[in-house]
Amino acid sequence: MSLTDQLQADMKSAMRSGDVLRRDTLRMAIAAAQNAAKDKRAPLTDEEATEILGREVKKRRESVAAYGAAGRDDLVAREQAEIDVLTPYLPEQLEEAEVRGLAVEAIAVSGATSARDMGRVMSVLMPQVRGRADGKVVSAIVNEELARAATA
């Protein structure tokens, strides 16, 4: 069963059980996937659907930060609940130590010696962590490791 089929089945289940939050969140995710499929003019692969879900979760995380800064705890709770609904459909997220290890390997493979080589390192590293780690976190770790390599 593809990821989009799983989302559809889970939405129907949520409709039957009366779980409004789950139903609405899954409906939004399905709509985003369908829009992407229309733009592509072809059905989405599971990898593409996962990427779309990752973007939706990222939007909600940004909203949580904005609502938290504004003191809107009610909206923070709703966005966090939506994140909790979507997260099980995403691949297991990498721990910071795992990303750091992969970054050190990517630096060695790419032959990077300074912060100027960031693009080369990221081009090696991102295919390995795509969908399993936030790009901002990966970028920060690579910067730290490149700075450490430059001073060594």
- pLDDT tens-digit profile of 117-151? 899 999 999 999 888 888 888 999 999 988 888 78
Of 39, 54, 89, the position where a domain reaches its end is: 89
Q: Is the pTM of this model over 0.85?
A: no
Q: What value does the CA radius of gyration of the chain take, rounded to a whole number of Å? A: 19
Whether residues 82 and 108 fall in one domain: no
Report the distance separating Cα 122 and Cα 97, nearest Å.
Answer: 17
CATH number at residue 53: 1.10.1510.10
Domain encompassing residue 116: 96-151
Note the pLDDT of residue 79.
96
Amino acid at 24: D
pLDDT above 90 as % of the chain? 72
Whether residues 106 and 37 fall in one domain: no
Whether residues 16 and 80 fall in one domain: yes
Angle, CA 66 vertex, CA 61 and CA 69 arms, to 5°: 125
Reported for 111-119, long-range contacts at CB under 8 A and 24+ positions apart, including other chains, are 112/146, 112/149, 113/149, 113/150, 114/146, 114/149, 114/150, 115/143, 115/146, 115/147, 115/150, 117/146, 118/142, 118/143, 118/146
Number of domains in the chain: 2
Of 42, 65, 89, the position where a domain reaches its end is: 89
Whether residues 30 and 81 fall in one domain: yes
